[in-house]
Structure formats: structure tokens, C-alpha cells
Amino acid sequence: MKKNIFTAAQDAVLPDEELGLINRHTLRDLTRDEVFCFTLTLCDNRVDRDMERFDVAALHKLAELFDGRTGIADHSMKSEDQMARIYKTWVEEDPAERTMNGEPYTCLKAKAYMPVTEETKEKIAQIKSGIKKETSVSCSVSAVRCSICGSNWKEGACRHRKGRVYDGKVCHGVLTDPTDAYEWSFVAVPAQRSAGVTKSLTLAEAKTTVGADEEETVTLTLDAFKGLTACAERFRQSLVDEVIRSGLLALPDLGKAALEELCGGLTEEQLDRLGKSFRHTAAERFPLRPQLSGESGRDPKTNHEFII
């Protein structure tokens, strides 16, 4: 996953201690004149535009994982696009500011360096002038938990949906237990709200990419993606409604509330199979019997059951 945020400013004077941290990553010791250093904010615990947020424990884990990670542009995986490297990370809390879920605002900060060369002069100028100031982190987490019920969405969907309000709380995904940090990038359009960037394209022109890998990805407009998502939600709800209807016929003692809770953690394929099973059981309990089929074991010589 990739998470974007507003990054920050150039450092003034480089202390000896930090120069030593930089030289951990170099083949020879660099001097102050040979490096350009700046501070950035990598990610925080605010709910972002994807309706997701990192929890505070994840930020502390990411502080460990991002130490020494390289900085590139637009998540390009080419080695020639590397431009900077993180040499120090820490977690910073602002008790005076509260997030949507009532926690103190907490963010992962980092310091990065890049060599001062003819090739990097333009990039350094862009950072100093504020042209390049948004960043995006690329990392992996073991769980994306529902903020309402705590279910891990990476293991299966629950009945709650991102952006919807349940008992006064907005549902969102909580990113927990990071397992790796890959890289960080300068980007043009950040996802996290603290970026404070105005997009120059309309929502209809915005694009989103869907797919498990590059060979199977499809790029859609945001409107088309929202339309497909709405269709998927309607399809899932129809499966849930059918499971509940059939379940109440097959196992009436189970109750509607229990069936709704059961459906919340099932995939669409599992819902389809459960619905078929309930329908089969319901058909055995309430078999269809034509009005003119006659009574079982009746005397074929008489037709008394058909006489009005």
C-alpha cells in the first residue's frame, strides 16, 4: 500500500552526530558541503482520503523499518530514480491536536540526505522552493482492521463499509502491525489530508488502478470505479438478503440478528454457497405440493379429494 502526506523543510545546520548517521550509509565519509539534508513527515494517525489510518503502534514500528530506506519519485522502481535516503526517524506527538477518533495527533518524522552534485542541483532547488514537498510511503501491514468491529479486512469483509456512519462513528480501516517498509517517494497528489494540496484535475478525470499485478491491472476513471463499487455492494447485499430469507425458513430459531452477524464475515462466494444450503434445507421443510396432486396413499378408484 502507498500512503501520502505533506512533507517539510530543509535543515539549517547539520550537527556532527547527524553527519555520522549519514556516513553509516556511504562508502566514504562525506562532509557537510557534500550533502543536502531535509526533514519530512512520512505518515500519521489521521484518517486519510482512502478512509484509512495508521495506529500509533504502527507508526513506532514504521520508524524502525524506514530507517535507511531510499527516496525516489512517483514510486518508480528504477535504480537511476533514487535521489535521497533516510538516516534518522522518530515519532512525534502533538497533545494539543486531536484526530477524528479522539487520539492525540501523532506522526512519523524522518530526516533524509541527498548528495550535492550537478545532477541533483535541480532536485535540491525544487525542494528548497517548495515544489517538491509531498511524499508517499510504500509499505506492507499484516492487518487492516475495521474501526467499528475490529475485523481484519485482509482476511475477509465484515458488514461495515468505509465512509458510512455507525452509531455516530465513521467506519474506516486501521492499518496495524507493519511487516516491511519498501521506499518513500516524492509525489504530486497526496492521499492523507494533512498534505493540504489542491488537485488540478476534476473527479471525473481522476484515475484509479485496480489489479493484483501489472499484467492484470485496469485503470478506470474515479466515476467508473465508484459505479463498479456501488454495483458490487448491491450484489453483495442481494446475496445477504437471500441468505437471511432462506435462513429464517430453514433455521427459524437462529434469528435475523444472528444471520446478519454471520453474513458480515463471509465472502460473496461463501454467501452464495450458504444461501444454496439454506434453500435446500427450507425446501425439505416446506416442500412444494401442487393443489391437484392428491393425497398420499389415496384409493385410485375414488376422487373424493377433488370433489367440492
pLDDT at 82: 83
Instruction: Name the strand (E) or helix (H) holding 269.
Output: helix 268-285
Burial grade of 302 (CB within 10 A; 0-12, 13-18, 19 or more): exposed
pTM above 0.85, yes or no: no
Q: Which residue numbers in the chain have pLDDT < 70?
A: 1-13, 188-223, 225-226, 289-308
Over the stretch 190-239, which tens digit does the pLDDT of each residue have?
Answer: 554 443 222 223 334 444 444 444 455 566 665 676 677 778 788 888 98
Closest CA to 261 of 246, 282, 240, 235: 240
State residue 202's pLDDT score: 37
pLDDT for position 194? 45
* Cβ neighbours of 248 (radius 10 Å): 16
What separation in angstroms does the CA of 168 have from each of 164, 171, 200, 237?
10, 10, 33, 22
Q: Within 10 A of 150 (CB to CB), how many other CB atoms are there?
A: 11
Which residue from 194, 184, 68, 88 is spatially nearest to 136, judged by alpha carbons?
184
Residue 57's SS3 state is helix
Placement of cell 475490529 in the chain:
150
CA dihedral 53, 1, 114, 68 (to 10 degrees): 80
Please tell me the predicted confidence (pLDDT) of residue 162.
Answer: 87
